[in-house]
Structure 1
Amino acid sequence: MLTENDISRLEQIIGYKFNDKALIIEALTHSSYVNEHKINKKHDYERLEFLGDAILEMISSEYLFKTFPEKKEGEMSKIRAALVCEPALYHDSLQIDLKNFIQFGKGEEATGGRNKESIIADVMEAVIGALYLDGGFDESKKFIDKYVLSNAESYQMYNDNKSTLQELVQSLKLGAVRYETCGESGPEHDKMFKVRVFVADKNMGEGTGRTKKSAEQQAAYQAVLTLNKKK
């Protein structure tokens, strides 16, 4: 359960004090908590997530339009998708320790909800929505600029690196690409996977993630960086 101290600590981290505390509490409340406590008059974060998603798309679009004057619409769309995808927003959320402020029901907590990238990413958008309603456009933009767009240079990490790697390997005629799971750790509901990627049987990169797909994308990203240095 969220306490006043929890709210104050989060406000201190993000540098904004909410006038309406109910907004930030709603943004940090999962549906499992509402259902478990039968709080009929309280909402979970999903409505604020809907609002925050729209604001995030608008602000990130403006940023990309101004930052990359040479890029076409299709290229900017790909970059925006990489910037606001679940893994990227989850990574951004680590800067403010967001997952440790979310209210979960006991069932969702027990099955690893606190570490699900999809949930944490949704809550990031809900916080943006809460900031917009409480402090206006400027406050939501400050948050996005600081915690999302500040990582814009690393957007390639969340792009479709497996496709990029495949195209690069084919253009350089290096041989086949192969992924190999080389490690698993953690309980069933909160596993971490480690994957290596091989190009023509040469280890070109490693990645870790909460899914094999995520780990493969990270490994592919490392391989792309390595191959681009050799070009």
Structure 2
Amino acid sequence: MATGAEDYPGLREALGDPVLEPELLERSLTHRSFAYEHGGLPTNERLEFLGDSVLGVVVTEALYRTFPDLSEGRLAKLRAAVVNARALAGVGRSIGLGDHIKLGRGEESTGGRDKASIVSDTVEAVIGAVHISGGIEVSSVLVHRLFDHLITEAAALGAGLDWKTSLQELTAERGLGVPEYVITDAGPDHMKTFHAQVQIGAERYGNGVGRSKKEAEQAAAETAYREIHDGPVAGQADPAQSPPES
């Protein structure tokens, strides 16, 4: 059946080629700024509303089944760590979703393709479109494809379930001092990009980039956490540098 809607083959492949009607896929990518400039086209907002609920149900069930001994409060924190706007934006960026979003000229000119709010909302809209096209079985497969790695990562985080808190716990445990964040920015006011590094004592760790200071700090904390966690423990010799036994 001819539809006139674009098929987005590259995006479909990144999504795992789910059952997804072309018209619904195109609508899921249509931001309100584009719709307004083109005579009031249907936007992705209703699909976003649906996708938010589908995502919540699938992730909640996955957490419930994967962690049978965790309390309700801990499960709620895990879910929040997986489905927050920053995490969703990261998922969207990993599949190149920003390249396909239909934006108005204003949003286009101010970097809307990489805005966490727009990318995260579009992820939810795409999930909603897949759900309408293929039902809960198909949308569940998509959610697991995109979010299972976040569930695994969230379970490994500290009590605060964010990278800054986890890094602070790790540096306290190893006696390294309190992390401080060094922020720089570039670009015009309406399109600023922030870069963050973590200062711990005399050392700097991590590199984080984001559209906000908070996003850049979280990204820097993640890379710093991995550098410190995977490196030699302070006060212990690096086996590679240890002298041979006599």
When structure 1 is superposed on structure 2, of 21-30 and 148-157 the one drifting more is: 148-157
> Aligned residue for 1:219?
220
* Other-structure match for 1:146: 145
The residue number in structure 2 matching 1:81 is 80
* TM-score, normalised via structure 1 length: 0.84
Post-superposition offset of 1:109: 1.0
Quote the offset at 1:179 in angstroms: 1.3
Shift of the 7–165 alpha-carbon distance from structure 1 to 2, 3 Å rule, reads closer
Matches of residues 52-201 of structure 1 in structure 2 within 5 Å? 52-155=51-154, 156=157, 159-170=161-172, 173-181=175-183, 183-201=184-202
- The amino acid of 1:35's aligned partner reads Y
Aligned CA RMSD, in angstroms, stands at 2.6
- Give 1:7 shift: 3.3
Amino acid in structure 1 at the alignment position of 2:101: I
Residue 102 of structure 1 deviates from its aligned partner by 1.2
Check conservation: 1:95, 1:147, Cα contact below 8 A.
Answer: no
Q: Percent identity?
A: 37
Deviation at 1:37, TM superposition (A): 1.5
Aligned residue for 2:206, secondary structure, equals strand
- Displacement of 1:118 in angstroms is 0.9
Deviation at 1:117?
Answer: 1.0
Offset at 1:82? Answer: 1.3
Shift of the alpha carbon at 1:51?
Answer: 0.8
Gaps of 5+ in 1: none
**Given that residues 179 and 196 in structure 1 are in contact (C-alpha distance below 8 angstroms), is that contact kept between their aligned partners in structure 2?**
yes
Q: List, as ranges, runs of 4+ consecutive aligned residues in structure 1 with deviation greater than 6 Å.
A: none
- CA deviations 1:34-61 (Å, max 9, x no partner) are 111122xx32111111111111011001
Amino acid at match of 2:59: S
Distance 2:11 2:206 in 1: 36
- The total of aligned residue pairs comes to 225
Residue identity in the other structure for 1:28:
L
Choose from 15, 18, 33 the match for 1:16.
18
The Cα of 1:76 is off from its aligned counterpart by 1.8
Tell me if 1:28 matches 2:29: yes
Q: Which has the larger radius of gyration?
A: 2
CA–CA separation in structure 2 for the residues paired with 1:10 and 1:83 = 22
User: Is residue 161–residue 220 contact of structure 1 (8 Å, CA) maintained in 2?
Assistant: yes
Q: Please give the alpha-carbon distance, in whole angstroms, between the structure 1 residues aligned to 2:118 and 2:31.
A: 9
> With structure 2 as the length reference, what TM-score do the two structures score?
0.79
2:182 maps to a residue whose letter is E
3-state SS of paired residue (1:184): strand
CA distance in 1, matches of 2:71, 2:202: 37
2:39 is matched with which residue?
A: 38
CA contact (8 A) 1:196 1:216 kept: yes
